[in-house]
Amino acid sequence: MKTACPRPNAYAATCPTRLVLDRVADKWAVLILGSLSEEPVRFDELRRLIEGVSQKMLSQTLKSLERDGLVSREAIPTVPVTVEYSITPLGRTLSATVDGLLIWAETHIDQVLKAQKQYDAGLQRKAA
Amino acid sequence: MKTACPRPNAYAATCPTRLVLDRVADKWAVLILGSLSEEPVRFDELRRLIEGVSQKMLSQTLKSLERDGLVSREAIPTVPVTVEYSITPLGRTLSATVDGLLIWAETHIDQVLKAQKQYDAGLQRKAA
DNA sequence: CAGAATCCAGCTCGATACTG
DNA sequence: CAGTATCGAGCTGGATTCTG
């Protein structure tokens, strides 16, 4: 707890750490960042790439990401308009950090699943 | 994309990576894990420590964390009962990973805030 | 193609009250 | 102290429809 914005109680509405956490907590945001890691992608392409997004959530999330400076938007004046989204350098550093989490998930999911089974089994016995 | 559970499209309901992400996305879960990092803490103590939790969310989140094997619960048979929650080794590895995110937040929040200002300023001009 | 706007079903979460 | 149970307001997000 030696940082300017103290953890773990950095969640007061006034504290901006919360803002970042909320962003990462957003399923679609993480997915979008990942999809843009290799190259710029168009709106509709993203829609197909990210299975299950509604166009509302896609548009909404892209707008937030752009506002946060994590993604940049470029409208190319073709007919009809083409819009390319790409990840910014800032977004890339965040993405790298999030990757740490994904790796944790992949390497520890077995333990989590096992713990769940044991827990549920314990409840079974009590119920009986 | 060389992992067993492919990213970024690891979000299908069947894919357990999602489960972990959802856990991390949970504000209270992160806060609880942080609060337990030093030593075991009792329920009511947690309630005071974590400003703004309802006892419902605290109880609910603790239960999930316990089920996932991230937190362990020990009931001490005093009168009235005392219950101590502590972080497990598994929970500690997750917490360490999440810390990376918190550090990112602290070191980059300035850039994010600045980007937001610029974005909002841009909208202003259009509206005018 | 790239969105904006509207409508509403469902789930989350806080508040409140009660229990062992 | 350590919870559980219930209820309702509010927000989230999907489906649908429409525009430049």
- For B71-82, the DSSP string reads EEEEEE--SS-E
Q: What is the mean pLDDT of residues A112-124?
A: 92
Token pair listed for A63 = 């707008």
Torsion over CA: B47, B51, B54, B60 (sign): negative
Neighbouring CB atoms inside 10 A of B37's CB total 18
Q: How far apart are CA A107 and CA A112, in angstroms?
A: 10
The whole-number pLDDT of residue B3 equals 33
**B-chain residues within 8 Å CB-CB of A34?**
7-8
The whole-number pLDDT of residue B88 equals 98
Neighbouring CB atoms inside 10 A of A78's CB total 8
Using pLDDT thresholds of 50, 70 and 90, give the confidence band for residue A84. Answer: very high
Task: Say if CB B105 and CB A8 are below 8 A apart.
Answer: no
Task: Say if CB B18 and CB B30 are below 8 A apart.
Answer: no
Contact with chain A for residue B15, Cβ under 8 A: no
Q: What is the mean pLDDT of residues A27-46?
A: 94
Percentage above 70 pLDDT, chain A: 87
Which of A1, A2, A21, A116 should be substituted to probe chain B, the one whose Cβ sees the most B Cβ atoms within 10 Å? A21
The whole-number pLDDT of residue A6 equals 44
Neighbouring CB atoms inside 10 A of A19's CB total 15
Whether the beta carbon of B73 falls within 7 A of nucleic chain D: the reply is yes
The whole-number pLDDT of residue A27 equals 86
| pLDDT surpassing 50 at residue A67 | yes
The whole-number pLDDT of residue A5 equals 45
Q: Is B52 left (phi over 0), alpha (psi -120 to 50) or beta?
A: left
Using pLDDT thresholds of 50, 70 and 90, give the confidence band for residue A51. Answer: confident
**Closest nucleotide (CA of B58 to C1')?**
D3
- Which residues of chain B fall below pLDDT 70? 1-14, 126-128
Token pair listed for A68 = 């946060």
The whole-number pLDDT of residue B51 equals 86
Using pLDDT thresholds of 50, 70 and 90, give the confidence band for residue A11. Answer: low
Nearest CA in chain B to A4: B106
Using pLDDT thresholds of 50, 70 and 90, give the confidence band for residue A128. Answer: low
Peptide bond into B6 cis (omega under 30): no
Percentage above 90 pLDDT, chain A: 68
Q: Is A6 left (phi over 0), alpha (psi -120 to 50) or beta?
A: beta
The residues, any chain, with a CB within 8 Å of residue B49's CB and separated by 6 or more, are A9, B35, B41
Closest by Cβ to B8, choosing from A35, A68, A108: A35
Mean pLDDT of chain A: 87
Q: What is the mean pLDDT of residues A109-119?
A: 94
